[in-house]
Structure 1
Amino acid sequence: MRNVADLPLHGGHVPAWLARRMRKLTRLVLILAVEEYGTRGLLERLSDPVWFQAFNNVIGMDWDSSGSTTVTAGMIKDALWEEELGVKAAGGKGKKSRATPEELKKIAELYELDPEPYVRTSRLVAKVDTVALQTGYQLYHHVFFLDEKGNWAVIQQGMNGRERLARRFHWFDAETFTLDPHKAISGLKREFALNTVSKEAEEYQKTLLDVIQENPVKIERELEGLKAMAKGYMPLVYYRPREPGEKEVLRRYESLGKFELNKKALEFARELGVNNYEEFLLVKGLGPSTLRALSLVLELVYDVHPSWKDPVTHPPDPFKFSYAVGGKDRVPFPIDRPAYDGLISFLEELVSRHPEERALVRNVTRITKNWKFPEGEKRAT
């Protein structure tokens, strides 16, 4: 199962008066969530895109924008460092994402954990969502959550500048990183995606590991023949088209970007004797272009195919949670400051009370469980 959400790219910023309230409400929700579900339960919910989006809506962020990921994840990270709940977060947007390894080492030291597995996991999940799964999105946001027991979750987001969309990827305690590794899926389904981490791609992965043991020069020669075919030249003698659909396959690869081999990366993988797909993805210099090139060669020369299915399904819409305090961009209505302050006061009082008294609040949720919002009020921001 995988977990992905597509959102329109939005600029702008959160006004100071709203940011202060968001920070307070975020802290209170996290305290209650950890007390109710434990740190592992919190991580499970953060790795659920519907829950995460509902959290975003409750604190008043845009219900449908890319900023909902960067702002909400940033608020959560800050709150977890300010409050000791047994779970911390590393990374963030842009330059902050590159600080993830060092921050993970600090968290691991705090919780007396070996940092290396988590640093490796951070690198690997980023490589999967930029290289192994290609849907036209470039990662620019990566937040890694780690609790005192060693459970982890990752929320990262990629940008498609041409289509003005962002896609969010969620991970949780993955047992494998190369066969359907994400937790679940939500978002806009694309016509196709180069998906080399689908269970359907097991044969592809095995064949690729065999092919990279060959001299990179030979692989490059095969690639150049395919490029010539794409330009309309006659195939080389050793290559014979098998079916008319091969030109469509070439166009599909070209739509994802250039395919150029990094021969140094392939030589390095060969020297290391890489024998599993995880190790291969972590090879320095292996990028989307090189994997596209290898996939093209495998598909048209060796007749071994990756999966072309975009691993996305459509979740329930959490828009109704925007009615808690309103939305930053006035959808479904402007932020109701008195209601926001009243909610914060109520939750502060709730946090200070005995856990048994909080059980009464759960009954209140039944009132709105089946409530449905007026569709006409759901407007793009």
Structure 2
Amino acid sequence: MMRRGIAELPLHGGHVPRWLALRMKRLADLVIKLLVDEYGTQGVLERLADPVWFQALNNLIGMDWDSSGSTTVTAGMVKDVLSKEDLGIKAAGGKGTKSRKTPEELKQISEIYGLDADEYIKTSKLVAKVDTVALQTGYQLYHHVFFVDQDGRWTIVQQGMNPSIKLARRYHWFSEKIESFTLEPHKGISGIKSDYSLNTIAKESKEYQKTLLDIISESPTKIEREVKSIEALSKGYTPLFYKPYEKREVLPIVERYQSFGRFELNKKALELARELSVSNYDELLLIKGLGPSTLRALSLVLELVYDVHPSWKDPVTHPPDPFKFAYAVGGKDKVPFPIERSTYDDLISFLEKLLEKGKEEREVVKQVTKISEKWKFPEEEKRAT
């Protein structure tokens, strides 16, 4: 069974030396080929969508077990492998400027596989909006990779950074497990739980989303007046008209929203949403210009004027730790031990020979792997890198 998760990792500096990068790429290539042969393209996508499995792959190829770079390097290695091999899966996007090339690359992939590029481009934009606007935890997205297979299934792995605490958070999505893009859609969430987050995609958010769509049909100027009145009330000014909350109750609520940033209502975006008569939360999130600050302002109005609340729970669980996979070849920064090139090369040679064998011959290897299933690493060797 796949775990649910969002992985949080500290920011690391430095780079992967060329001798290691070449080996990482070769090992990732062999792992992906074996997975496709054993489980098909869907099996590969399902594993990439599991944050624990993804982190285990990172550890296996020798990246630091706790680095934010595990996402960018591992996803980059896999993308490069898929671009050079005809395995029935391709990838678009990447880190920073590469993420902005996602639409263009999705068009190329769709042409190869005979898919509808527009649908994938829309999905890419919506998923990014969900993890920056609909779910706010203080992280800014800077990495977005979209994996697509020949049958149209997909997995998205994206990551955000919180500069103030120097932590990264990774979000995993899988097409085959999504019932709604805006109601607990993630395939994986794991890591450190925050005290609270502005979560408008929790299961209990149906009433919130419905009411939000209702107030969007009102004049943006009226909504703006409500926001300004609430801000004035929180500063101690006496309102000229009735509000359902007293000053002492308003201030902590406003401060909680402000902990994620300022309130900047984009009236043009709201006017566009009103003109288009958006009928669901997905459509609203895709409105150009509707960003985190606008949603915070709208949520504040919903909570203090209409008494309709978003969820404040951070959707994080604590899955099994894949640190033991770092014992395969070691870690780039010498945790749990320095990488030995000869050992790495022996592993690559073994997997190359294994790839040449039939599935029946591989069954013997599967039996051998059971020896390490219950092995537990010495906790004192799990050090921060």
TM-score category of the 2 structures, normalised to the smaller one: over 0.9
Question: Do the aligned partners of 1:143 and 1:154 also contact (CA within 8 Å) in 2?
Answer: yes
Structure 1 residues without counterparts, runs of 5 or longer: none
1:183 partner SS: coil
The whole-number CA distance in structure 2 between the counterparts of 1:290 and 1:175 is: 26
2:97 partner letter: K
Matched, 1:318 2:359: no
Query: Is residue 270 of structure 1 aligned with residue 270 of structure 2?
Result: no
- The Cα of 1:371 is off from its aligned counterpart by 0.3
Q: Distance in 1 between matches of 2:263 and 2:383?
A: 40
Q: Is the 8 A contact 1:225 1:236 kept in 2?
A: no
Give, in angstroms, the shift of residue 246 of structure 1: 3.1
Verify: 1:232 aligned to 2:236, yes or no: yes
The Cα shift of 1:364 comes to: 1.4
Structure 1 residue 2: Cα displacement: 5.2
Q: Is the 8 A contact 1:2 1:311 kept in 2?
A: no
* Residue 123 (structure 1) aligned with residue 125 (structure 2): yes
**Which residue of 2 is the match for residue 90 of structure 1?**
92
Which residue in 2 is equivalent to 1:178? Answer: 182
Partner secondary structure for residue 25 of structure 1: helix
The whole-number CA distance in structure 2 between the counterparts of 1:2 and 1:137 is 19
Amino acid aligned to 2:108: K
Query: 2:25 matched to 1:26?
Result: no
Question: Which blocks of at least 5 consecutive residues in structure 2 are unaligned?
Answer: none
Task: Answer yes or no: is the 8 Å Cα contact 2:4–2:51 preserved in 1.
Answer: no
> Which amino acid in structure 1 is aligned with residue 67 of structure 2?
S
Deviations 1:345-381 (A, max 9, x none): 0001111122221121111110100000000000001
Q: Distance in 2 between matches of 1:235 and 1:205?
A: 28
- Give, in whole Å, the separation in 1 of the partners of 2:38 and 2:107: 28
Note if contact 2:233-2:247 (Cα within 8 Å) is conserved in structure 1.
Answer: no
Whether the aligned pair in 2 keeps the contact of 1:2 and 1:180 (CA below 8 Å) is no
Spell out, residue by residue over 1:181-237, the C-alpha distance to the aligned partner (whole angstroms, 9 max, x if none). 111320110000000011111000000000010000000000001111222222342
Shift of residue 244, structure 1, vs aligned partner: 4.2
Match of 2:164 in 1: 162
Mapped partners of 1:184, 1:99: distance in 2: 25
Superposed CA RMSD in Å reads 1.1
| Aligned equivalent of 1:216 | 220
| Alpha-carbon distance in 2 for matches of 1:288, 1:282 | 12
CA distance in 2, matches of 1:284, 1:357: 55
Query: Does structure 1 residue 12 correspond to structure 2 residue 14?
Result: yes
- Give yes or no for contact 1:3–1:171 (8 Å, CA) kept in 2: no
- Structure 2 SS opposite 1:234: coil
Matches of 2:111 and 2:365, distance apart in 1: 37
**Partner secondary structure for residue 21 of structure 2:** helix
1:298 aligns with 2:302: yes
- Higher deviation after alignment, 305-314 or 356-365: 356-365
Distance of aligned partners of 1:195 and 1:44 in 2 relative to their CA distance in 1, 3 Å threshold: same
AA paired with 1:104? L
State how far apart, in whole Å, the 2-side matches of 1:130 and 1:53 are: 22
Give matches, 1:180-219, under 5 Å.
180-219=184-223
The answer to whether the 8 Å contact 1:48/1:183 transfers is yes
Structure-2 residue corresponding to 1:241: 245
Amino acid paired to 1:267: E
- In structure 2, distance between residues paired with 1:2 and 1:277: 23
Structure 1 residue 242 displacement after superposition = 5.2
CA contact 2:95–2:142 (8 Å) conserved in 1 = yes
Q: State whether structure 2 residue 380 is matched by structure 1 residue 376.
A: yes
In 2, Cα distance between equivalents of 1:135 and 1:284: 21
Report how far residue 243 of structure 1 moved. 8.2
The equivalent residue for 2:71 is: 69
Could you tell me which amino acid in structure 2 is paired with residue 295 of structure 1?
S
How much does 1:238 deviate? 3.2
SS at match of 2:350: helix
Secondary structure, counterpart of 1:159 in structure 2: strand
AA aligned to 2:356 is S
Give me the whole-angstrom Cα distance separating, in 2, the residues matched to 1:218 and 1:196.
Answer: 22
Equivalent pair of 2:140/2:161 in contact (CA under 8 Å):
yes
* Contact 2:82 2:89 (8 Å CA) reproduced: yes
Q: Aligned letter for 2:277?
A: G
Contact 1:157 1:168 in 2 (8 A): yes
Listed one character per residue, the Cα deviations across residues 2-59 of structure 1 (whole Å, up to 9, x for unaligned) are 5311100112110000000000000000000111111011111101000000000000
Q: Partner letter of residue 329 of structure 2?
A: V
| Structure 1 SS opposite 2:380 | helix
Do 2:244 and 2:304's aligned partners in 1 also have CA atoms closer than 8 Å? Answer: no
Larger CA deviation: 262-271 vs 244-253: 244-253
Please state whether the residue corresponding to 1:143 is helix, strand or coil.
strand
In structure 1, what residue type is equivalent to 2:155? A
